[in-house]
């Protein structure tokens, strides 16, 4: 950055052509920067502009009511449901993903690790609708060899969890690789076993990166609709069970999808307001994880 | 009396022989300095003594290294046990992201020592041995990274001492430090050799002359000459040793 400022600032000795080229490329860079961040501004602007009239405390704290359903009341079912799904998905993917990441880091160059890496990359590329339909066959349908859980939070949450696993795995592996080798060697040189080294030196050092990975996974999962269409769908209330025919939860992404499809101007506004709430949750989670991994991040910054 | 002895030792990175036919004895309660130009194999040799090269892919050895007559590359000694007996301090200070106290206590904790009083006794004792106690006794709970580079290196020495090793390997322990910190580390080495067998790799020949009792000169993966430091530096028997210590190459 400093170099850039210097070259643009002291154009004195440059030929006219190079001065012109500097200016042109500078302008181009600035334009592309604006272009890259404008969607974020646009998203916030549109959602705020269209949804702000429906946004109030009642909207986030009460269940949908009125006719058509949702024209009065709020989206509490969606908020609770989304959080339930995220908790289930994380409960599956965080331990499995971290464990797999540890394996890839430890055994990195072996043939079986290469295989795990390849498979996990393939999984990252599986379209979400395919996850949904497979999740349906495995967890939800009432016939065949699956679990017969019906459209339920457990079926939806686990499907989302499987989507999250490869994300957590790869980010964990990378975060562990970023822990300086000298710390790892320091532990080994004191007679630490492999497990002790991983637990007391490698994992704490990689915490910030792993936290970011979990967050990435959660954010991905929070916005998923396709996998839920066949495994959980939607519920206008809050279920008392996580499985069975009454086990589906409301879900913000699905709620937005359904509201937008209703021929009602009022529900369109509610959908926009729900988008704002979803954005708010994403932002809160992001800040939360950043705060939680603050110490680890500071340390990582100091030693690299 | 030799604490460790090395006979007919070869080390390879894949196909390349990094060490060839090394034979020497590491005397107890003395300082052995390993000198030689970059790439001569002295660090590889040092790291072979506590099997730290095991983590390098493609690294293999031939020959024998014994600690108290047990071959350290045999199944008779697990690397974890070996490294508790043969401690190591690295070129760059590498304290953990823990408090000063926890850094020194780490080696004991992983051995399952839980008693608070044993831990604090040993931490104090190790920090005293590493000549760091007076500087840190009032802030044992602050981060190890609040210390200066020289203090961090002495902390790493204290950390290695806390597990009560028999041999201490120092891999250019002062090369990243300023002259004053270097002098402190050298003094410390003099104190420590009353209790430990010490092997130090150094690029600095004055340092080797100052701190060591015996000196071994490595060149291109071979041990050219080893003997009393005073003799090596005044009257080397090999021409290559003479050329190196008089600064004709390296």
pLDDT in single tens digits along all 304 residues of chain A: 445 545 455 556 778 999 999 999 999 999 999 999 999 899 999 999 999 999 999 999 999 998 889 889 999 999 999 999 999 999 999 999 999 999 999 888 889 999 999 999 999 999 999 999 999 999 999 888 889 999 999 999 999 999 999 999 999 999 999 999 999 999 999 999 999 999 999 998 898 889 888 988 998 899 899 999 999 999 998 998 888 888 999 999 999 999 999 999 999 999 999 999 999 998 888 888 888 877 665 554 444 3
Residue of A181, A187, A191 for testing the chain B interface, max B β-carbons within 10 Å: A191
State whether A49 and A61 are in the same domain.
no
Number of domains present in the structure of chain B: 1
State whether A226 and A118 are in the same domain.
yes
Residue A144, burial from CB neighbour count under 10 angstroms (0-12, 13-18, 19+): exposed
| CATH value at residue B92 | 3.40.50.300
Partners of A183 on chain B (C-beta within 8 Å) are: 94, 96-97
Q: Range of B222's domain?
A: 2-40+47-245
DSSP string, chain A: -HHHHHHHH--TTS-HHHHHHHHHHHHHHHHHHHHHHHHHHHHHHHHHHHHGGG-SHHHHHS-EETTTTTSEE--HHHHHHHHHHHHHHHHHHHHHHHHHHHHHHHTTTSHHHHHHHHHHHHHHTS-HHHHHHHHIIIII-SSSSS----S-HHHHHHHHHHHHHHHHHHHHHHHHHTS-HHHHHHHHHTT--HHHHIIIIIHHHHHHHHHHHHHHHHHHHHT--HHHHTTT---SS--S-SSSTT-----HHHHHHHHHHSS-HHHHHHHHHHHHHHHHHHHHHHHHHHHHTHHHHHHHHHH-
Q: CA–CA separation, A76 vs B156, rounded Å?
A: 55
The answer to whether position A148 is within a domain reads yes
State whether A92 and A48 are in the same domain.
no
The answer to whether position B219 is within a domain reads yes
Closest CB from A193, A201, A303 relative to B80: A193
Q: CA–CA separation, A147 vs A152, rounded Å?
A: 11
Cα of A182 to nearest chain B Cα, Å: 6
Q: Please say whether the beta carbons of A187 and B87 come within 8 A.
A: no
The answer to whether position B250 is within a domain reads no
Number of domains present in the structure of chain A: 2
| CATH value at residue A237 | 1.10.3720.10
> Residue A11 has what pLDDT?
55
The answer to whether position B127 is within a domain reads yes
CB within 8 A of B225, min separation 6: which ones? Answer: B216, B217, B232, B236, B237, B238, B241
State whether A150 and A101 are in the same domain.
yes
The answer to whether position B64 is within a domain reads yes
The answer to whether position A191 is within a domain reads yes
Helix and strand tally (H, E) in chain B?
10, 10
Q: Range of A38's domain?
A: 6-53
Residues B151-173: pLDDT tens digits? 999 999 999 999 999 999 999 99
The answer to whether position A77 is within a domain reads yes
The answer to whether position A225 is within a domain reads yes
Pair of tokens at residue A160: 């989302």
State whether A161 and A63 are in the same domain.
yes
Query: Whole-model pTM?
Result: 0.81
The answer to whether position A1 is within a domain reads no
The answer to whether position A194 is within a domain reads yes
The answer to whether position B23 is within a domain reads yes
State whether A245 and A288 are in the same domain.
yes
Biggest distance spanned by C-alpha atoms of chain B = 56
The complex scores an ipTM of 0.92
Partners of B84 on chain A (C-beta within 8 Å) are: 190-191
The answer to whether position B199 is within a domain reads yes
Going by C-alpha positions, the residue among A238, A226, A206, A85 that lies closest to residue A156 is A85
Instruction: Determine, for residues B145 and A204 on separate chains, whether the beta-carbon distance falls below 8 Å.
Output: no
Instruction: Determine, for residues B110 and A196 on separate chains, whether the beta-carbon distance falls below 8 Å.
Output: yes
State whether A72 and A32 are in the same domain.
no
State whether A266 and A251 are in the same domain.
yes
State whether A61 and A156 are in the same domain.
yes
State whether A149 and A197 are in the same domain.
yes
């Amino acid at each position: 950055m400093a170099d850039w400022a210097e070259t643009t600032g002291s154009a004195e000795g440059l030929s006219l052509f190079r001065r012109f080229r500097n200016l042109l490329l500078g302008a181009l860079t600035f334009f592309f920067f604006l272009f890259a961040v404008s969607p974020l501004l646009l998203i916030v602007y549109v959602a705020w502009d269209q949804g702000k009239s429906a946004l109030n405390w009642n909207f986030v704290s009460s269940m949908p009511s009125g006719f058509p359903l949702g024209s009065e009341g709020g989206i509490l079912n969606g908020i609770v449901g989304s959080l339930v799904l995220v908790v289930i998905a994380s409960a599956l993917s965080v331990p499995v993903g971290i464990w797999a990441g540890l394996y890839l880091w430890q055994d990195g160059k072996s043939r079986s690790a290469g295989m795990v890496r390849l498979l996990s990359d393939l999984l990252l590329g599986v379209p979400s609708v395919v996850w949904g339909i497979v999740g349906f066959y495995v967890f939800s349908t009432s016939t065949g060899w699956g679990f017969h859980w019906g459209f339920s939070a457990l079926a939806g949450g686990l499907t989302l969890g499987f989507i999250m696993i490869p994300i957590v795995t790869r980010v964990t592996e990378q975060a562990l690789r970023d822990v300086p080798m000298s710390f790892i060697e320091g532990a080994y040189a004191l007679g630490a076993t492999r497990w002790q080294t991983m637990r007391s030196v490698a994992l704490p050092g990689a915490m910030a990166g792993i936290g970011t990975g979990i967050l990435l996974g959660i954010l991905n999962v929070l916005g998923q609709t396709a996998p839920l269409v066949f495994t959980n769908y939607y519920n206008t209330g809050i279920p008392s069970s996580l499985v069975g025919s009454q086990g589906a939860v409301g879900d913000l992404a699905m709620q937005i999808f359904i509201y937008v499809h209703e021929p009602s101007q009022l529900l369109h506004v509610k959908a926009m307001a729900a988008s704002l709430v979803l954005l708010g949750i994403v932002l809160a989670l992001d800040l939360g994880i950043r705060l939680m991994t603050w110490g680890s991040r500071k340390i990582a910054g100091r030693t690299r | 009396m030799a604490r460790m002895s090395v006979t007919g030792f070869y080390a390879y990175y894949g196909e390349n022989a990094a060490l060839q036919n090394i034979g020497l004895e590491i005397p107890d309660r003395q300082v052995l300095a390993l000198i030689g130009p970059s790439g001569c194999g002295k660090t590889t040799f040092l790291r072979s003594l506590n099997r730290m090269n095991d983590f390098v892919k493609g690294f293999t050895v031939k020959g024998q290294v014994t600690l108290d007559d047990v071959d350290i590359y045999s199944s008779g000694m697990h690397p974890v046990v070996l490294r508790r007996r043969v401690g190591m301090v690295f070129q760059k200070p590498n304290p953990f992201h823990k408090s000063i106290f926890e850094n020194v206590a780490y080696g004991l904790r992983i051995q399952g020592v839980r008693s608070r009083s044993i831990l604090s006794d040993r931490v104090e004792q190790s920090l005293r041995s590493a000549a760091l106690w007076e500087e840190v006794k009032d802030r044992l709970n602050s981060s190890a990274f609040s210390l200066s580079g020289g203090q961090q290196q002495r902390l790493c020495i204290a950390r290695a001492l806390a597990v009560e090793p028999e041999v201490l390997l120092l891999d250019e322990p002062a090369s990243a430090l300023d002259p004053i910190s270097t002098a402190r580390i050298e003094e410390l080495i003099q104190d420590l050799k009353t209790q430990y067998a010490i092997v130090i790799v150094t690029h600095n020949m004055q340092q080797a002359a100052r701190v060591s009792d015996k000196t071994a000169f490595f060149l291109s993966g071979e041990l050219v000459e080893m003997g009393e430091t005073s003799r090596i530096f005044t009257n080397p028997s090999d021409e290559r040793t003479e050329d190196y210590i008089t600064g004709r190459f390296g």
